[in-house]
């Protein structure tokens, strides 16, 4: 029988968070590490209980404009090589663009993540969206996880104002405290072809738990950081003339091992070797 990898891993190598699933242990700062604490205690508490936090990036208009201009340049020129590109997204454009790389390495965001997780964050992937993704709700833990678990998050930057019409991020506050699901939970092989079944599972989890959506109605320059297990996706675009320029940076944290649950079983773990952007 296929058994969920996280349950078996937990049995083999322990669990970092005995009291709260998906809440990495905090305050384990090493001697000499940054003591910057940009978030208030209220914001930190809210991140713990709701699974996300919103703050001002502090990026200037010129810096935000520069990212938008780079996205236009790369979308318009198919000869620029990125890890993946389609009509909606560019993956890892940080490799070919200094402004995009600067967002991914923002000292403020890194200080905030250090404050929230007590470990040094490692940005390892960027996604730049031209329009809303309209993607179904999921947890990032199906794509990226760590042992100890949950040392991963996403930081979503609005490069233009977002409202209900241009497909805002949708997320379910508190859902990060639910168990982390993967294909083993529904006894399916750990293969991408079953991703639709995973999405159906998430949809039923949302219904069964009566989870209520919130929307990322963000102003240009604001950032929303989500905890790895927060259920989220892209809501429908109701005005098809609108763009929704935005950038997500994905982070792991130091001193973990990293793997891809979607492609892993206990007998065959697809470990990751993320290359930190900084
Ligand atoms: O920006 C969006 O619409 C969704 C992004 C998302 O779900 C992700 O990056 O995991």
pLDDT, tens digit, 9 for 90 and up, residues 141-165: 999 999 999 999 999 999 999 999 9
Segment 101-124, tens digit of pLDDT: 999 999 999 999 999 999 999 999
Report if residue 212 sits inside a domain. Answer: yes
- Which tokens in the block code for residue 202? 């998430």
Q: Is 30 a member of any domain?
A: no
Structural domain count, the chain: 1
Mutate to test the pocket of ligand 1, among 125, 233, 246, 247 (most ligand atoms within 8 A of CB): 233
SS3 for 54? Answer: strand
Domain that holds residue 62: 5-22+37-272
Let me know: does 102 contact 60? Beta carbons within 8 Å. Answer: no
Q: Tell me whether residue 32 is in a domain.
A: no
Can you give the CATH number for the domain in which 61 is found?
2.60.120.620
SS3 content of the chain, % helix, strand, coil (to 5): 30, 20, 45
pLDDT reported for residue 36: 85
Tell me if 232 is assigned to some domain. Answer: yes
Report the alpha-carbon distance of residue 180 to residue 278 in Å, rounded: 28
User: Could you give the percent of the chain with pLDDT greater than 70?
Assistant: 87
127 lines ligand 1 (CB under 6 A): yes
What is the three-class DSSP state of 165? coil
Coil/strand/helix, residue 14: coil
The answer to whether residue 28 is domain-embedded is no
Task: Determine if ligand 1 sits within 6 Å of the CB of residue 232.
Answer: yes
Q: Which two tokens stand for residue 171?
A: 């997320």
């Amino acid at each position: 029988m296929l058994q969920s990898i996280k349950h078996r891993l937990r049995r083999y190598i322990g669990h970092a968070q005995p009291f709260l699933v998906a809440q990495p242990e905090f305050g384990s700062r090493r001697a000499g590490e940054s003591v910057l604490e940009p978030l208030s205690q209220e914001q930190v508490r809210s991140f713990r209980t709701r699974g996300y936090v919103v703050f001002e990036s502090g990026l200037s208009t010129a810096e935000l404009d520069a990212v938008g201009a780079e996205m236009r340049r790369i979308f318009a020129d198919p000869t620029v090589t990125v890890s993946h590109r389609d009509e909606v997204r560019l993956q890892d454009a940080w490799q070919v663009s200094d402004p995009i790389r600067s967002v991914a390495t923002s000292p403020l965001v890194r200080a905030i993540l250090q404050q929230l997780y007590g470990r040094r964050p490692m940005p390892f992937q960027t996604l730049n969206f031209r329009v809303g993704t309209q993607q179904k709700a999921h947890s990032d833990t199906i794509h990226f996880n760590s042992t100890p678990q949950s040392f991963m998050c996403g930081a979503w930057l609005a490069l233009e104002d977002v409202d209900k019409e241009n497909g805002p991020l949708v997320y379910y506050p508190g859902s990060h405290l639910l168990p982390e699901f993967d294909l083993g939970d529904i006894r399916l092989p750990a293969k991408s072809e079953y991703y639709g079944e995973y999405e159906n599972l998430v949809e039923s989890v949302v219904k069964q738990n009566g989870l209520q959506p919130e929307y990322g109605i963000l102003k240009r320059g604001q950032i929303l950081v989500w905890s790895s297990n927060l259920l989220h996706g892209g809501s429908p675009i109701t005005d098809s003339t609108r763009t929704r320029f935005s950038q997500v940076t994905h982070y792991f944290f130091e001193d973990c091992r990293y793997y891809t649950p979607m492609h892993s079983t206990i007998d065959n773990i697809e470990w990751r070797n993320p290359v930190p952007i900084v």
